[in-house]
Structures are given as structure tokens and as C-alpha cells.
Structure 1
Amino acid sequence: MFVHRVINGYNQPRMYENILIDSGLTDKQATVYGVLISTGDLSAQDIVSLTKLKRATVYDTLKSLSKEGLVTTFIKDKKTYFHPEHPYSVREVALKRKNSVDHGLNQLESSMNDLVSEYMTSTHTPGVLVFEGREEVKKVYEDLLQEGKEILSIVQPANIDPPLYKWLTTTFVKKRVSKKIPARVVVAGASNEATVYSELDKKELRGSRTIEDPLFQVGIEFMVYGNKVAYVSFSKNADIMGIIIQNQFIASAMKSVWQIVWRSANGK
């Protein structure tokens, strides 16, 4: 239905503009669409008069709103008028933009390791990432999966936070095996604990050796993979946190330390 109401001294409600801008419209789009939904169908000249925007700006803005599906046109008495689509259309536009942003974030996340690696190489500085809390620490293990390199680890299973241990054994290990990422693990602790752990080695694509020494108490998991070193502190009586260091020299040094421990451990 054609509605044409031009109000002298019209004062466009700024509240609408702010809401529309927050939903993803530009300030000019919010101004023009806001005056249309508040006043009704208008000609371009009416919009210029009410918004105080330049004519060229109004036409460009109407064109962009039309492309977004927020404004349509019709002709009456040989004059073109602009009609605002239902505000639900703004929600649809906002959802499309949100989906686009979410997709972009996912793409960024999947490429983050490569981007960080390029950054560290070009700036000659080690990259350090810190994760605090059980859910955040899981990202350390997700990075292991994303890197896809053999994992060299030292761990004491008996000291692992129980909920995290359950996730590691039921979710992480399955993902690692499905990606065919091997692991070699030095297990600290009593021989019976290590035996339970090593019994699953073949199934879990892992080699393990044991160090049963009261002096060798490990409250963290230490991992070397690719050009990275990760430490996860998950003792039952301590805060859970993880650290990833990306630096080839540090990784090489810690790999040497791991190899010495591996050679001194009991195993096949």
C-alpha cells in the first residue's frame, strides 16, 4: 500500500539508527532506512529533505539498500518512490553477515598455525600461547592434532585431572589415531599404572616406556611436536593451565632432553 507522510520538522529517532548500525548497516543505510520505516514510502527528494544528506549520497545508499533487499521501488504518477521492506529483512541480512563472519573466523582459526609460524619466522621471535582452565587447555591438544606431527611426551597418568583424563582417553586419542598421528610417551609412576597404560599402546598408535622412581614425580605433561613444545599442568590439586612455545631451537633442545629420558626408561 502506498503511504506518503512527510512531517514538517521531522526528527528522526536516533534509537532506530543505533539499532540498525549495530545489526550491520552503515550509518547512511541506517539513516535512510530509519526514515523510511518511521515515515513511510518516500521519494528520493523527500529523503534528501528529511535526512539532510546529499542527493548523490541518498541515491547511492538507496541502491545499496535495494541490493540488500531492504528497499524496493514503485512508480506513482510518473514519480519513483522507495518502500522499506519489513524489519525482518534486516534480521535476515544480519544473520547472513553473522554466518559470513563465523565462516571467516573458522577459516582464520584453521589457518592460525600457519599465520603464527609465518609471523614468528619473519619477526625472529618465539610464539608463546597460554591457556587457563580445563576447556582452554583442550586447545593445546587440538593444536597437536592440527600440527599432525609425531608427539614426544612425558606424563604421569595418575596425576591427571580426572575430567580432563576422561576427555583425553575418549576423545583426543581417538582423533589422534584417526589422523594417524603416532606418539611416544615416557610414563612416570608405579609399574602397575604404567602397565595399564601400555596395554593400549598398539590400539592407540603409541609406544611407551616407564620410569618408576619416587624422585621422578611429574605433575605436568610435556610434549614436543614439530617446532613446538607444550606444557600442560593438570595436577588434581593445582590450577589447570597449558603453554605452547613455537620456536625451532627450543623444540630441538627439548627433543634432545626427551630422547635422553626415553633412552633411560624401561621399555621395549
Structure 2
Amino acid sequence: MINKEILKQIGLTDYEVEVYLALLTHGQLSAYELAEKAGLYRQVTYDTLKRLQEKGYVSSVSEGKAKLFKAIDPELILEFLNEKTENYKQMLPELNDINRLAKMPLSVETYKGKNVVRIALRDIINELKEEGGEVLCTAVDESVPLANFELVCRQYERDMLHHNIKERVIIKEGTKGIFQKGTSKYKKIASKFYNENPVQIYGDNVQTIVWGNPDYLIIIRNKGVAESYRKQFELLWEIARN
């Protein structure tokens, strides 16, 4: 006695099990004959045959005006399943990476007031000073912090040089980068892609400054979030101009 539940466990529906077994038992059948053998409505049989053909479990052949259907060898189904298993094994490391990133701790810090630029730049240095690294900056109008925090910005530039920290910065067309000592590489982007709130990605951190009264600084600490923002930055970097 065939255990139909096992066929369901490999992904077949109730109707697909009945149709496949009827074809396996009786050989080549027309859809009309198959509907009678399987005890199914004709439209249900047609729909089920279509799905089984898409899965590769049923083949068809035309004999004159008649179209006959045949179940594939059960051994081939086992080969299909083994192939799917191998494909899944190859994909497993990537799935594990996604799962690992999702479980990483996430924290969000918010600051407000006149010192947000100082806090933002100091956090970048603190996070990268041990091993160096790269900061990715988008939507930066460097004249804004420079006008009010020139000493802080110049100290940040010296710290970048000292700790071997580099940065790539996307600025708006018509503006100019302020750091010119080899620490920073600039590209420009059209105004329509520009927003007023700078975003900086460094290590496993993302920060954004919201200019206003008062100013706000938001820092997100999570590897998955940082990697997502980093991919978006690289896309913009590709279309930006030197």
C-alpha cells in the first residue's frame, strides 16, 4: 500500500499525488482518461497536470490529435530532490550569514543640541582609531559644519591622518570639499539626488545629522544596517561624478 503522505512530504498536493499515481499505474493516458482513473473533475485534472509538468514530474507526447501524459520514472524524482538538496547546501552559508546578521545586537543613540557635530566626528575617530578604516559620507555640505565648527573639523582631519582613516564623500554639485590633505576623496552628485541630512557609515555604525533647532544626531550600531547603507552608498558612488 502506497504511503501517500510521503509523496506530500516531498512537495506534492493531494491532487498531484492522485494524478501521479494514476499515471504511474496505468501508463500513458489522455487527460480525459486520467480524470476517470484518478476520480477527479476534468478541469482539476488539467490544472494538476500543468503543475506536475512545471515540476518535471509528468511528461507529455502528441499522438495524432491526442495528447497523452506519462509519469516520469520515480528514480528521476529522487535525482531531482538530491539536486535540490545540493543546491540548498551551496546556498546555506549565505543564508547563515543573513540569519547571523539578523541576530546581531542593535542600538540607537540620539543626541541633540549644538554639539552634535563634535559628538559625531569624535565617535568616528573612536570607532576606527585602533585599526584605521574608511568612512563613507553622503549628502554632505561641508560648509555647514565648517562655518560653526572649524576647529572641530580641523582636529578631525588631523585625527584621520594620524590614525590612517580615509573617507569617501559624495557632495552636491556646486560645492567643494574642505579636507584636502589626502584623507578624503570626493565625488559630486546632481542636486535632485541630494538631501540636507548627511549620512556617515563607518565600521558597524551609521549616523545621520538632522539640521534644525535644535540639531539632532542619530547613531545606529548594527552590522547588518551598516552593510545595507554601505551598499546604497556604493550605488550612488558609481553614478556620482569626479
TM-score when scaled to structure 1?
A: 0.46
- The equivalent position to 1:171 in structure 2, one of 155, 161, 172, is 155
Structure number with higher relative contact order (C-alpha < 8 Å, ≥ 6 residues apart): 2
Q: Distance in 2 between matches of 1:219 and 1:158?
A: 12
Residue of structure 1 in register with 2:236 after alignment: 261
Distance 1:175 1:161, change over 3 A: closer
The 1:135/1:159 distance shift into structure 2, 3 A limit, reads closer
Higher share in strand: 2
Which residue is equivalent to 1:156? Answer: 141
Give the secondary-structure state (helix, strand or coil) at the position aligned to 1:209. strand
CA shift in 2, pair 1:225/1:231, >3 Å = same
Match 2:184 to one of 194, 201, 206: 206
- Please give the secondary structure, in 2, of the residue aligned with 1:220: coil
Counterpart-to-counterpart distance in 1, 2:225 and 2:116:
23
Of 114, 124, 128, the match for 1:134: 114
> By how many angstroms is 1:227 displaced?
0.8
The 3 A distance-change label for structure 1 pair 255 and 124 is closer
Aligned to 1:225: 202
CA–CA distance in structure 2, aligned partners of residues 266 and 136 of structure 1: 29
User: 1:167, CA displacement in angstroms?
Assistant: 3.5
Q: Among residues 244, 257, 261, which one is paired with 2:219 in the alignment?
A: 244
Q: Is the CA contact 2:134–2:165 (under 8 Å) kept in the aligned structure 1?
A: yes
Equivalent residues, number: 136
Indicate the percent of aligned positions where both proteins have the same amino acid: 18
Deviation at 1:161, TM superposition (A): 7.0
Map residues 18-29 of structure 1 onto 2, 5 A cutoff: none
Cα separation, 2, equivalents of 1:134 and 1:161: 13
**Cα RMSD for the two superposed structures:** 2.3
Structure 1 residue 147 displacement after superposition: 1.1
1:37 corresponds to: none
Partner amino acid, structure 2, of 1:142: R
For 1:135-160, what per-residue CA distance to the aligned partner results, in whole angstroms no more than 9, with x for missing partners? 24422211100111310111122444
Paired position in structure 2 for 1:187: 171
Q: Deviations over 1:81-102 (max 9, x none)?
A: xxxxxxxxxxxxxxxxxxxxxx
Q: Which amino acid aligns with 2:200?
A: M
Task: Find the aligned partners of 2:116 and 2:201 in 1 and give their Cα distance.
Answer: 19
Inter-CA distance 156–207: structure 2 relative to 1 (3 Å threshold): same
Structure 1 unaligned spans of 5+: 1-120
**Matched residue of 2:165: which SS?**
coil
CA gap 1:207/1:161 in 2 versus in 1, 3 angstroms: closer
Amino acid across the alignment from 1:229: V
Distance in 2, Cα, partners of 1:161 & 1:171: 12
C-alpha distance in 1 between matches for 2:104 and 2:193: 35
Q: Return the alpha-carbon distance in structure 1 between the equivalents of residues 171 and 126 of structure 2.
A: 24
Are the equivalent residues in 1 in contact too, given 2:199–2:209 (CA < 8 A)?
yes
